[in-house]
């Protein structure tokens, strides 16, 4: 299995596809909830996402930053 072809990144001891992680974080930053995102059959289930975040502090920090950015954007739009 060629990891560069699969464009995978190792987080903790498991492999998670970077494009999926990046897509989820981008959608969260855009204001989507994990529940909305993980309802897409192409995405992992919510339990998997939260397990990934619990197992990897770097991913958890990126997730928290994406959520904070979404909140900041929502607050700015509401104040406009």
Threshold 0.85, pTM exceeds: no
- pLDDT tens figures, 5-36: 344 454 445 667 889 999 999 999 999 999 99
Distance (Å, whole) CA 38 – CA 49: 8
Largest CA distance in the chain: 50
The DSSP call for residue 41 is: T
Beta-ladder partners of 9: 16
């Amino acid at each position: 299995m060629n990891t560069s072809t699969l464009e995978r990144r190792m987080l903790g001891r498991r492999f998670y596809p970077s494009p999926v992680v990046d897509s989820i974080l981008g959608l969260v930053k855009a204001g989507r909830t994990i529940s909305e995102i993980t309802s897409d059959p192409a995405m992992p289930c919510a339990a998997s996402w939260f397990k990934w975040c619990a197992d990897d502090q770097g991913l958890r920090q990126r997730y928290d930053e994406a959520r904070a950015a979404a909140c900041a954007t929502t607050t700015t739009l509401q104040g406009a």
